[in-house]
Amino acid sequence: MEAKIRVPDPGEEYLTPEGCWILESWNQDSDDAVSIARARIEPGVTTKLHRLTGTVERYVILEGTGTVTIGELAPQTVGPGDIVIIPPEVSQKITNDGCGDLLFYCVCTPRFVDACYVSLE
């Protein structure tokens, strides 16, 4: 791997079937170890319940507030600075219960690939 600066293009943000907007910050075949995406959830939206096969996902909350549900844990309110850790195979969803967009980074190890996503709805 070579040193570089990656500047994501905001125009590449896309809406997923899960219900959130994703901007891939870093997800490359050449770096299977990790992927980083910025997620944006509009007010009042709850993502679809899902899990990732063989992938640990971490949310790093940047802006807004939400309620996250992970596996058997009770739903919990999260906000800026909080980090949510979701082990492989564990169900997850998050609701934006604030007035503005809920923004967070999704850091996946190994990197996120579509094949690891399993819808539970």
44: DSSP letter: T
53: DSSP letter: T
> Is the residue at 42 inside a domain?
yes
Q: What is the CATH number of the domain that holds 63?
A: 2.60.120.10
> Is the residue at 68 inside a domain?
yes
Q: 3-state DSSP call for residue 81?
A: coil
pLDDT per position as a tens digit, 103-121: 999 999 999 999 999 999 9
Average pLDDT over residues 23-47: 97
Domain enclosing residue 47, as ranges: 15-115
> Is the residue at 98 inside a domain?
yes
Average pLDDT over residues 9-23: 96
The count of structural domains within the chain is 1
> Is the residue at 120 inside a domain?
no
Which pLDDT score is estimated for 92? 98
Q: Label residue 77 by pLDDT band (50, 70, 90).
A: very high
Q: How far is 30 from 51, CA to CA, in rounded Å? A: 24
Q: Label residue 26 by pLDDT band (50, 70, 90).
A: very high
- Cα-Cα end-to-end distance for the chain: 38
Q: How far is 89 from 53, CA to CA, in rounded Å? A: 5
